[in-house]
Amino acid sequence: MTEFFARARANIALSKYWGKADRALNLPAVPSLSLTLDDLVTETTVARDASLAHDHIELDGVLRAGDEAGTLSAFLALVRARAGVPEGAPGTFLRVRSHNRFPTASGLASSASGYAALAAAATAAYGLALDDLALSALARRGSASAARSVFGGWVELPAGTPGDDTTGARPLFAPDHWDVAMVLALVDRGPKDIASRDGMRRTAETSPYYAAWLATAPLLHARVRAAVTSRDLEATGDAMEASTMAMHASAWAAQPAVRYARGVTLDVLDAVRALRREGVGAWATMDAGPHVKVLCAVGEAESVAARLRTTPGVLESRIARPGAGIERP
Ligand code: 2P0
């Protein structure tokens, strides 16, 4: 059995994706801009195995079953359909082994690195030659944030047009455009309360602020993009926080509320604000989980991480830097 290996890294959005333009094609309703990180790596190996009657998917050493396996296998079926591999012929199905080389914690963007690596390894296994843009559009079908992890550094995922399956992310700047730090404060090890897909759906269907989010997000995205282009840390941090808060506010107003922040999340936000009052340039963002990620200059990352570790409830803090895109067969 020939094995195919791919490595991908997670990314953190500075302007946030929240909501879909087309649910079936998993197209984002708003543009987003992310930074791919060096620290959060997923490694995936796949092989076509003639002895299998269905895909065999092992994540972090645990064989997956039920809905989780079904979702991943549906993505692999999409790859097979693109490659012209008929379902059920000998050698159709994949043996997949995937490992996250970072602590498994909710909302740490493991679906981004996971689907990017899986798309790269599976397309290679089925002989489907895609350039990075086409691979990104395919990875988007698994998880929209995965489209961004195909590329290193500073990456943009535009809003989609309903029915247009070609939307993928595009690289804006290589990792060396701007060496900043993203300090990750992990506050919980459990599974996330609400899958981001369900959270987005509930926000779109019930939040009175979803329309306001759709109107605001492109403007905040443009601010983030301009600030990243000119490497203006304060302007980037301010716009990133505004995008974060607008996204979470729209989710909090869903019925019932979609709330990922915990008490400790707010305590970390207070610590970041206190750092700023002391003259340290640090800005916070949160995703579909309770953790906080803090953008700051590389020279201040160690002291920011040390401060966050002193906040009760913070389990671990790690320093990430701009990272590379997909490595594939
Ligand atoms: C982001 N998040 O831009 C936003 C901010 C969470 C909050 O992308 O439904 O796992 O699989 O496309 O990509 C998380 O959502 O969602 C996410 P699906 P995904 O990073």
Quick one: tokens of 34? 């992310």
pLDDT confidence bin for 329, thresholds 50/70/90? confident
Q: How far separated are the first and last CA of the chain, in Å rounded?
A: 15
Q: Which residue has the higher pLDDT, 146 or 39?
A: 146
What is the model's pLDDT at position 242? 98
Domain made up of 3-175: CATH architecture: 2-Layer Sandwich (3.30)
Cis peptide before 256 (omega within 30 of 0): yes
Checking 301-308 for CB contacts under 8 A at 24+ apart, the result is 301/181, 301/183, 304/181, 304/183, 304/275, 304/280, 305/183, 307/271, 307/275, 308/183, 308/185, 308/268, 308/271
Torsion angle in degrees (nearest 10) through CA of 46, 49, 51, 52:
50
Judged on CB neighbours under 10 Å (0-12, 13-18, 19+), 224 is buried
Q: Is 204 in the pocket of ligand 1 (CB under 6 A)?
A: no
Share of the chain above pLDDT 70, in %: 98
pLDDT confidence bin for 59, thresholds 50/70/90? very high
What is the model's pLDDT at position 196? 93
Q: Report pLDDT digits (tens) over 142-198.
A: 999 999 999 999 999 999 999 999 999 999 999 999 999 999 999 988 777 799 999
Top mutation candidate among 23, 25, 33, 111 for ligand 1, by most atoms within 8 Å of CB: 111
By alpha-carbon position, which residue is closest to atom 9 of ligand 1?
197
In the three-class reduction of DSSP (H, G, I as helix; E, B as strand; rest coil), residue 253 is classed as coil
In the three-class reduction of DSSP (H, G, I as helix; E, B as strand; rest coil), residue 13 is classed as strand
What is the model's pLDDT at position 104? 66
What are the backbone angles phi and psi of residue 186, rounded to the nearest 5°? -90, 130
Q: Report pLDDT digits (tens) over 235-274.
A: 999 999 999 999 999 999 999 999 999 999 999 999 999 9
CA angle 255, 256, 261 (to 5 degrees): 115
- Residue 266 identity (one-letter amino acid): L
pLDDT confidence bin for 105, thresholds 50/70/90? low
What is the model's pLDDT at position 219? 98
By alpha-carbon position, which residue is closest to atom 13 of ligand 1?
145
What is the model's pLDDT at position 106? 61
What are the backbone angles phi and psi of residue 161, rounded to the nearest 5°? -110, 125
Residue 325 has pLDDT above 70, yes or no: yes
pLDDT confidence bin for 28, thresholds 50/70/90? very high
Torsion angle in degrees (nearest 10) through CA of 16, 229, 152, 36:
-40
Residue 93 has pLDDT above 80, yes or no: yes
Equal fold, 3-175 vs 180-320: no
Please say whether the structural domain 180-320 has been given the CATH code 1.10.10.10: no
In this prediction, residues 278-283 reach a mean pLDDT of: 98
Quick one: tokens of 148? 């961004």
In the three-class reduction of DSSP (H, G, I as helix; E, B as strand; rest coil), residue 228 is classed as helix
| Closest-lying ligand 1 atom to the alpha carbon of residue 142 | 11
Task: State the distance from the centre of ligand 1 to the C-alpha of 107, rounded, in angstroms.
Answer: 9
What is the model's pLDDT at position 39? 86
Top mutation candidate among 12, 15, 17 for ligand 1, by most atoms within 8 Å of CB: 17
What is the model's pLDDT at position 205? 98
Q: Which run of H or of E encompasses 222?
A: helix 210-229
What is the model's pLDDT at position 107? 66
- Residue 20 identity (one-letter amino acid): K
- Residue 27 identity (one-letter amino acid): L
By alpha-carbon position, which residue is closest to atom 11 of ligand 1?
143
- Residue 49 identity (one-letter amino acid): D
What is the model's pLDDT at position 57? 97
Q: Is 75 in the pocket of ligand 1 (CB under 6 A)?
A: no
Q: Is 26 in the pocket of ligand 1 (CB under 6 A)?
A: yes
By alpha-carbon position, which residue is closest to atom 10 of ligand 1?
143
Q: Is 143 in the pocket of ligand 1 (CB under 6 A)?
A: yes
Quick one: tokens of 5? 């290996």
Quick one: tokens of 75? 């993505």
Average pLDDT over all residues of the chain: 96
Q: Is 291 in the pocket of ligand 1 (CB under 6 A)?
A: no
Q: Report pLDDT digits (tens) over 122-147.
A: 999 999 999 999 999 999 999 999 99
Task: State the distance from the centre of ligand 1 to the C-alpha of 279, rounded, in angstroms.
Answer: 32
Q: Are the C-beta atoms of 187 and 313 separated by less than 8 Å? A: yes
Q: Is 144 in the pocket of ligand 1 (CB under 6 A)?
A: yes
Task: State the distance from the centre of ligand 1 to the C-alpha of 106, rounded, in angstroms.
Answer: 12
Distance CA 31, CA 216 (A): 11
In this prediction, residues 110-128 reach a mean pLDDT of: 96
Q: Is 196 in the pocket of ligand 1 (CB under 6 A)?
A: yes
Report the candidate in 42, 54, 43, 145 with the shortest Cα–Cα distance to residue 94: 54
Distance CA 5, CA 43 (A): 7
Question: Domain map of the chain by residue range?
Answer: 3-175, 180-320
What are the backbone angles phi and psi of residue 297, rounded to the nearest 5°? -70, 150
Q: Is 288 in the pocket of ligand 1 (CB under 6 A)?
A: yes
What is the model's pLDDT at position 192? 74
What is the model's pLDDT at position 272? 98
